[in-house]
A = this chain, B = another copy of it.
Amino acid sequence: MKITLAVVGKISGGYLKQGIDDYTNRLSHYLPFNIQYIADAKCTKNLSEAQQKKAEGKNILAAIDKSDYVVLLDEHGKEYTSMDFAKYIDRKMATVPRRLVFVVGGPYGFDSDVYDRANEKISLSKMTFSHEMIRLIFTEQLYRAMTIINGEPYHHE
């Protein structure tokens, strides 16, 4: 199984990129992992929030393959502890045939078409993080999950 983190918006830059790159490299020791950048809506000044979500939703759906198992990172999603997230990833490795895709939406969340396509929603926190920060937090949690699955000394309970 491959894992992709699909993110709407600009390619990461600056200090957060260093952290995202660090965990992405560490993850490559465990499984194929990549970050897929999805174009955000253009000329957003002329768009309502709903129009922006709709435009981004089209781009998200275009980036997803029929065989992908799609999980939205969404504030209304299920919250996991790091231990339970590791168990979740471990189960997915046994059941998802090709690609497990986690999707981070744009600033206003997901369009209904994206919710309809998604297989699941999970939430990293009740709090709202910046989109760059979510990328860092997610890659760190996925790395933590892989160390837990492999019984390696990174995570303390």
Could you list which residues of chain A lie within 8 angstroms of chain B, going by C-beta atoms? 14-16, 18-19, 22, 75, 79-82, 85, 107-108, 124-130, 133, 136-137, 140-141, 144, 155-156
Question: What residues of B have a CB within 8 angstroms of the CB of A124 in the complex?
Answer: 125, 127
Q: Which 9 A-B pairs have the closest CB atoms?
A: A125-B125, A15-B18, A15-B15, A82-B128, A79-B126, A107-B156, A82-B127, A81-B126, A15-B19
Count copies of this chain in the complex: 2
Q: Contacts A15-B15, A15-B16, A133-B140 hold; do A85 and B127 have CB atoms under 8 A apart? A: yes
CA distance A14 to B80 in the complex (A): 28
Which of A108, A126, A137 has its CB near the most chain B CB atoms (within 10 A)?
A126
Question: What residues of B have a CB within 8 angstroms of the CB of A128 in the complex?
Answer: 81-82, 144, 155-156
